[in-house]
Structure 1
Amino acid sequence: MKVRTCWSALEIKAEQLVAQLRAETGQSLKLLESLSSSKQRVDQMYHEYHSQATAMTSATGMSGVQNHRQFMLQLQSLRERVDNDIGKTRRYLSVLEQRTVEAETERLKMQSLMDNDKLAVQNYENRREQRSMDELGVMQFNRARAA
Structure 2
Amino acid sequence: MKHIWSLFVLTLISACSADRNNQNPYLQEVSFRFEINLNLPLYANLNSIGNPVYIGNNGVGTRGAFVMNIGNSYLAWEASCPNHAPNNCSTMTISGQNAVCSCEGYTYSLFTGQQLDRPDDGNRYYDLLIYNTTQSGNTVIISN
TM-score bracket, normalised by the shorter chain, equals under 0.3
User: Between Structure 1 and Structure 2, which shows a larger proportion of strand residues?
Assistant: 2
User: Between Structure 1 and Structure 2, which shows a larger proportion of helix residues?
Assistant: 1
Pick 1 or 2: higher relative contact order, CA cutoff 8 A, min separation 6.
1
- Structure with the greater alpha carbon radius of gyration: 1
Q: With structure 1 as the length reference, what TM-score do the two structures score?
A: 0.23
